[in-house]
Structure 1
Amino acid sequence: MNRSPTESVSSTGSDELLGKAYGGLYRRFVTLTLVCSALPLLLVGWIIYLKYASFSNERMVDYFQRKVEYNRRIVELFIGERTRDLELLGATHSLEYLRNQENLEAVFAAINQRNLYFEDLGVISERGFHLSYVGPYDLMPNDYSVTFWFRGLMEKGIYVSDMFLGYRKVPHFIIAVLRREDGKKWIFRATVYTEALNSLVESMKLGRSGEVFLLNRQGVYQTNSRFGAKVMDKASISMEHFQNDSGIRIIEPETLPASPPPVRQIMAYSWLKEPHWLLVVKQDYDEVFRDLNHANFWTLVFLHVSLFAILIVSIVTTRYMIKVIRIRDQEAQELNRQLLHASKLASIGQLAAGVAHEINNPLAVIMTENEIIRDLGEEMKGLDEGFKKELLESLARVDSQVERCASITQGLLTYSRRSKSAKQTFDINGSVSETVALMKRWAGTTGVSLETDLDERLPPFHSNRFQLDQVLVNLIANALDAHEGKRHGIIHVITRWDSKRNGVEITVADTGVGIPSENLDRIFDPFFSTKPSGKGTGLGLSITFSIVKELGGDITVRSTVGEGSEFRVFLPLESPPGIDDHAQPIGMDDTDEKHQRPCGR
């Protein structure tokens, strides 16, 4: 319902203040929820993420280093087994036996029977010349006493060389064992297949970008590299980085050659004990930590999705809470308004009752004195007829105004009633029909027709019939007054059964002038009337509202200016407790009867 301009301005300002208050409350709720839930989750989540990432990196680096150590032991085992093969052959066969070409060929065939590890085999005297040789090269005339490995063998007794070209001009490395027999020294020397070592090292490669290779102390490749470097090529890596027995380091792109395009790499290394070679394992950093980074990525995704979910839930929950709080506040405001309205009605009722009782006494005296003067005027002889006529007309006008005052006091007393209402079981359609028939006599002089549409399914109604008739009379009278200034009009009185609420709905609709929207909120207030002065007391709809509420029902109104109004009254089938079956009608207690009776002529 609309309010007066002053009330509208006040309501608008109040709504703006409430909107700001609810907005601030909404922001505080969301902030508090995020601080209490999202912030701890974010803090704990990031701490867990950083700890897990650090731990995982350490584990991955440790795994990479352990992988290198494992591969180093495999290479050492491979070379060690080949060395022990030669030692065993030298220990189990004499020089005389091995210097025989056929015997050496037999031994060579035997040691290569399962796996082709040795490329050639030779027996060399202490002067450096072959005593016998089995292999693909012609090395018998060569003097080995001047070679580096010969001198090293004489010092150590067992010698494993680096890759070198030698007399055969092909990269290879040899294993030599110094033997002593009958006071003479002789050498058992073998060349290990380079491809056997290459195959062993290449089998250790890791992933798509990993490569494994061997370097000597001068940084020369002892095996082929997966990505182009060949045996005896010089490595681009500075050997100064490999001072420790083993280690791991990150190679940044700017330290690598421009071709191919450099990427960040992780490199682990470990020195072999014999020969003193460096085993190097390299792999792209992103590939090494790909699975770890993938897990970390989804951990962060889950963390932020959880935060987003908390945010959404916080917003939705807070909006619902603010909505509930707003509804509760509106209900509280409405209840306060009703309580204030009820308090106003009670105060006005008490005042109205006092005023009505006080006015009724002088009205009775005025009425009595008026009758006496009228009787005297009619009986007195010799009065001027013109004066007598004016006197009687004045007395009639006094009667009319006394009757009007009596009607007003009757309304006041009815509005301020305090007695309980009497109830009975009756046919509500019959009551409506009787009331409409009564009002048709009045409506017949105004050109307005009354039509009814009554629901025949209505059960017997147990309530106060006098009060219901009063409600109908007030609503129909109001509808008739709404047609003032119109030659024709229709008033519809409709009854319907409301099964959901277990009660009756009575509709009084008219085609009158309608009610302005700014007055809809005030039409049930006592003494509010839009009728011209002298044509209404402003109590009819207020009394109607009070009666409907007392009977446990409700009343609503819809109106369009120029088209008409529609009042809907709902009454429950059973009136609420508190209505006395033997009480007096509304507004008619002993005092009312005493004060109203003298008002009639």
Structure 2
Amino acid sequence: MMVWLWSLTGVLGLLVIVLLIKIHILRKAAGEIADGFADRLATDTNTLIGISGRDRQMRRLADAVNEQLRRLRAEHHRFCQGDAELKGAVTNLSHDLRTPLTAICGYLDLLEKEEKSDIAKHYLDIIRNRSQLLVSMTEELFRYSVLLSRESDAPAEPVVLNQVLEESIAAAYTALTQRGITPRIRMPQEKVVRMLDGAALSRVFANLLQNAVKYSSGDLEITLESTGEIVFANTAPGLDEIQVGRLFDRFFTVESARKSTGLGLAIARSLVEQMGGSISAEYTDDRLHIWIFFRERGG
């Protein structure tokens, strides 16, 4: 009887050891598949996932993951090719529109020198305004297409956020006052320095100020914190949460900004993200808040 019990105990012990070894092998294979999958997603490589174990089911799992990786890689390449073709088409189209628009504006200049009736002057003024708007929209589209085509790593240099923000507000002051907007500005005394592209940052601030001119009902608060956070806040009763959620979408405009290309905030978002920052918008109690944050490098 004791021999039988010891034999059974020995068999059970061996089974436990075998199961533990099997579990260890499966866990190792699962870890290899997980690490290999993460590595293939992070790098542009055609190598597939391999495992060291010989378990049939884990090898089937690795083969299934490799098949999905092949499909994902093919879709990614197809997307990149289509995206590049679209960017090139937009760039070429916006560039080609410049020539006829320049000619139209030139002929308008000649027409304005000719004798004409009051009604003809009125029509010419309308054509002039529409032509200037079209020129502005075409230039914005061209700049946006160039922005999308350039490398994502912007040249970094020490930039004083206080100074760039002050210069941007001064440049936009006339447009703001014409809309009856006197901005309230709050900045720290100490310099807030970040490693950024100064020209790109100026463009971001300019676009946000233009956005305030379009949407503000007469007020604008601009706050710069020593942490690198910048907030643009203004009353905008014509907006709603759905519109605000789409403000950074390309070509999105609202009824109060029909003369807009819908690219200003999209450009701002692209530039901020290229510089390693973050940008977001929130709408509460009829007030629009746009946050930008640039953390210290290595922080």
Q: What is the TM-score normalised by the length of structure 2?
A: 0.64
Q: Shift of the alpha carbon at 1:351? A: 3.3
> Could you say what the CA RMSD is over the residues aligned between the two structures, in angstroms?
3.9
Q: By how many angstroms is 1:348 displaced?
A: 5.0
2:176 is aligned to: 443
Question: SS at 2:183's partner residue?
Answer: strand
Q: Structure 2: how far apart are the matches of 1:340 and 1:433?
A: 44
Provide the C-alpha distance between the structure 2 equivalents of 1:530 and 1:343, rounded to a whole number of angstroms. Answer: 32
Alignment of 1:505-520 (within 5 A): 505-513=229-237, 515-520=239-244
1:567 to 287, 290, 298: 290
Alpha-carbon distance in structure 2 between the residues aligned to 1:447 and 1:531: 20
Tell me, in whole angstroms, the C-alpha distance in 2 between the residues paired with 1:343 and 1:497: 42
Match of 1:295 in 2: none
Q: Is the 8 A contact 2:162 2:192 kept in 1?
A: no
CA 1:374–1:362: 2 relative to 1, 3 Å = same
Q: Pick one of 101, 112, 117 that aligns with 1:363.
A: 101
Q: Is the Cα–Cα contact under 8 Å of residues 345 and 526 in structure 1 kept in the other structure? A: no
- Give the AA of the match of 2:133: R
**Larger Rg, first or second structure (1 or 2):** 1
Q: Verify: 1:464 aligned to 2:197, yes or no.
A: yes
Runs of 4+ in 1 over 4 A off after TM superposition: 339-348, 419-424, 572-575
Matches within 5 A, 1:281-320: none
User: Is 1:551 aligned with 2:275?
Assistant: yes
CA 1:535–1:344 in 2, change beyond 3 Å: closer, same or farther? Answer: farther
The one-letter code sitting in structure 1 at the alignment partner of 2:233 is A
How far is the alpha carbon of 1:519 from its aligned partner? 3.4
Structure 2 distance, partners of 1:369, 1:574, is 52
- How far is the alpha carbon of 1:399 from its aligned partner? 1.9
| Cα deviation, residue 364, structure 1 | 1.1
> Is residue 265 of structure 2 the alignment partner of residue 527 of structure 1?
no
Q: String of CA shifts for 1:18-43, please: whole Å, max 9, x gaps.
A: xxxxxxxxxxxxxxxxxxxxxxxxxx
C-alpha separation between the residues in 1 aligned to 2:280 and 2:145?
22
TM alignment of 1:118-517, pairs within 5 A: 349-375=87-113, 377-378=114-115, 387-417=116-146, 418-419=149-150, 424-483=157-216, 486=217, 488-489=218-219, 491-498=220-227, 504-513=228-237, 515-517=239-241
Aligned counterpart, 2:30: none
Cα distance in 1 between the residues matched to 2:179 and 2:143: 27
CA contact (8 A) 2:239 2:286 kept: no
- Bigger strand share: 1
Give how far 1:346 is off.
5.4
User: CA 1:469 to 1:373, structure 2 compared with 1: closer, same or farther past 3 Å?
Assistant: same
**Secondary structure of the residue that 1:458 maps to in structure 2?**
coil
Question: 1:514: Cα distance to partner?
Answer: 7.0
Secondary structure, in 3 states, of the residue corresponding to 1:557?
strand
Q: How big is the shift at 1:345?
A: 6.9
Q: 1:467–1:547: 8 Å Cα contact kept in structure 2?
A: yes
User: Which string of whole-angstrom CA distances, capped at 9 and with x for unpartnered residues, describes residues 131-181 of structure 1?
Assistant: xxxxxxxxxxxxxxxxxxxxxxxxxxxxxxxxxxxxxxxxxxxxxxxxxxx
Q: CA deviation at 1:392?
A: 3.0
What secondary structure sits across from 1:558 in the alignment? strand
Deviations 1:451-486 (A, max 9, x none): 111123334444222211211121122233223xx4
Q: 1:480 to 1:366 in 2, by over 3 A?
A: closer
Structure 1, residues 287-318: CA drift from partner, whole Å, max 9, x if none?
xxxxxxxxxxxxxxxxxxxxxxxxxxxxxxxx
Partners of 1:514 and 1:506 in 2: CA distance: 23
Number of residue pairs matched?
233
Shift of residue 365, structure 1, vs aligned partner: 1.2
TM-score normalised by length of structure 1: 0.34
For structure 1, which segment, 409-418 or 422-431, has the greater mean C-alpha deviation from structure 2 after superposition? Answer: 422-431
Per the TM alignment, residue 436 of structure 1 is displaced from its structure 2 partner at its CA by 1.7
Which one has more relative contact order, counting CA pairs under 8 Å at least 6 apart? 2
Q: Deviations over 1:211-238 (max 9, x none)?
A: xxxxxxxxxxxxxxxxxxxxxxxxxxxx
More helix per residue? 2
Q: 1:447 to 1:532 in 2, by over 3 A?
A: closer
Question: Unaligned 5+ residue runs, structure 1?
Answer: 1-50, 53-327, 379-386, 499-503, 576-601
State whether residues 101 and 135 of structure 2, in contact with CA within 8 Å, keep that contact through their aligned partners in structure 1.
yes
